[in-house]
């Protein structure tokens, strides 16, 4: 393929997050430095060591048809809401269904349905279990629902790679187009698992912040006093298409992706895998490290994780790019995190502005990066890199450049 036909454009954006029910509202919230993290007031959280979360700003059940919503897990609901917005933003492209694919990643899939229906089985018996349980709990549900909605027949795929899932979905979409298997791919990530069990598990693993008395300041990437991430829910979806497929406005170009695995430890990251992912993304994009202007860091706000990523960034890219971490506002959306990070990077390239990382009172001196703090930073962003890393040693890096 020539360089022109090899280009993959981002023509549609959609999201529903703790900052807003649309991509625009989410971006506006990031630029305003607004927090989407709040206290969990429900009784079920009263005895938990963690009682804060990034909850959706807009309920998907208020957007979806009532009967349809009742047959979907919350993870599936947010995926469909974001996909509808992205598809409309792309102008609902006319594409042969055999050339349209869907890739929606998730970390836990229909965890709320699984846990909820198990409670029903234990307390009320088998006859009260919903007949929709299996299609609601299956991890491929979000991709399946979106493919049904859009009539996509070139494949409905589901990367399940923990917190790298959303980014891997975009990387797979890039591959599908460059390999000639699709002209248009709807790709992203979705997650919704606010439940006592995940909260208790992360608390026991000492991975989740316990700043219950100040939820909006709990997620503090790169700060010297960071104490863990904050769980969040939501989805982000983009429409990718082959350059030249049609005349269409593009937000940015997905120029390259790198996906690696550490083969090291089930939860502890290895910097070598992160560095390799970034270098693979650079090579795929045909860029040198000094050409990257901006990095949207994975930066979950864990003491070790942020430091490992900072060291990897310095090794693979250098210290010159501006760096931001929007999980300080949204919380950590796990399987959707990479797609939300991609959204922020795409819009930084398009609009020439980088959101500030919030809650950095004292930058950890060991980070050694140009972390954007205080106010958003204006200036041209010709190339932006995003990182997503997940339990199991999954690493995914994406590079976005300006649209042609």
Verify whether residue 195 is a known catalytic residue.
no
Whole-angstrom Cα distance, residue 278 to residue 292?
11
Question: Which of 195, 294, 332, 394 is flagged as catalytic?
Answer: 332
Q: Which of 251, 270, 296, 298 is catalytic?
A: 298
193 part of the active site: no
Contact between 338 and 163 under an 8 Å Cβ cutoff? The reply is: yes
Q: Which is catalytic among the residues 75, 157, 163, 208? A: 163
Closest CA to 53 of 212, 161, 167, 200: 212
Q: Are the C-beta atoms of 202 and 301 separated by less than 8 Å? A: no
CB burial string 89-98: b at 16+ within 10 A, e below:
bbeebebeee
Closest CA to 325 of 290, 291, 303, 296: 296
Concerning whether 298 is annotated as a catalytic residue, the answer is yes
Place of tokens 């006093």: 225
Residue 24 bridge partners (DSSP):
none
Which residues face 394 on adjacent strands? Answer: 261, 390
Cα separations in angstroms, 7 against 180, 242, 376, 385, 400: 12, 6, 29, 17, 11
Residues carrying an active site annotation: 163, 298, 332
């Amino acid at each position: 393929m020539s360089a022109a036909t090899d280009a993959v454009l981002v023509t549609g954006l959609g999201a529903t997050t703790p900052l807003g029910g649309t991509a625009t509202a989410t971006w506006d919230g990031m630029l305003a430095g607004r927090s989407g993290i709040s206290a969990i007031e429900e009784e079920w959280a009263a005895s938990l060591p963690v009682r804060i979360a990034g909850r959706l700003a807009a309920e998907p059940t208020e957007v979806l048809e009532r009967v349809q919503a009742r047959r979907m897990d919350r993870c599936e609901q947010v995926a469909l809401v974001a996909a509808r917005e992205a598809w409309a933003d792309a102008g609902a492209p006319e594409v042969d269904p055999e050339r349209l694919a869907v890739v929606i990643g998730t970390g836990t899939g229909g965890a709320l349905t699984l846990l909820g229906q198990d409670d029903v089985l234990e307390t009320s018996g088998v006859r009260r279990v919903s007949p929709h349980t299996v299609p609601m709990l299956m991890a491929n549900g979000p991709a399946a629902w979106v493919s049904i909605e859009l009539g996509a027949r070139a494949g409905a795929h589901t990367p399940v790679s923990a917190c790298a899932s959303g980014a891997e979905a975009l990387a797979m979409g890039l591959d599908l187009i460059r390999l000639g298997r699709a002209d248009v791919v709807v790709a992203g990530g979705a997650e919704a698992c606010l439940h006592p069990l995940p909260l208790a598990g992360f608390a026991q693993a000492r991975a989740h912040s316990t700043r219950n008395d100040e939820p909006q300041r709990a997620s503090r990437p790169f700060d010297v006093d960071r104490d863990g991430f904050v769980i969040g829910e939501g989805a982000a979806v983009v429409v990718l298409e082959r350059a030249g497929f049609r005349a269409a406005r593009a937000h940015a170009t997905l120029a390259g992706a790198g996906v690696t695995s550490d083969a090291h430890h089930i939860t502890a990251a290895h910097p070598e895998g992160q560095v390799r992912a970034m270098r693979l993304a650079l090579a795929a994009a045909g860029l040198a490290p000094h050409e990257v202007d901006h990095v949207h860091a994975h930066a979950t706000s864990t003491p070790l994780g942020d430091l490992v990523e900072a060291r990897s960034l310095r090794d693979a890219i250098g210290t010159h790019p501006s760096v931001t971490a929007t999980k300080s506002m949204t919380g950590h959306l796990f399987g959707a995190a990479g797609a939300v990070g991609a959204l922020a990077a795409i819009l930084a390239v398009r609009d020439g502005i980088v959101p500030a990382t919030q809650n950095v009172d004292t930058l950890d001196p060991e980070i050694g990066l140009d972390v954007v703090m205080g106010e958003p930073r204006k200036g041209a962003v010709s190339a932006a890199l995003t990182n997503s890393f997940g339990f199991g040693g999954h690493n995914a890096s994406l590079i976005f450049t300006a649209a042609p």
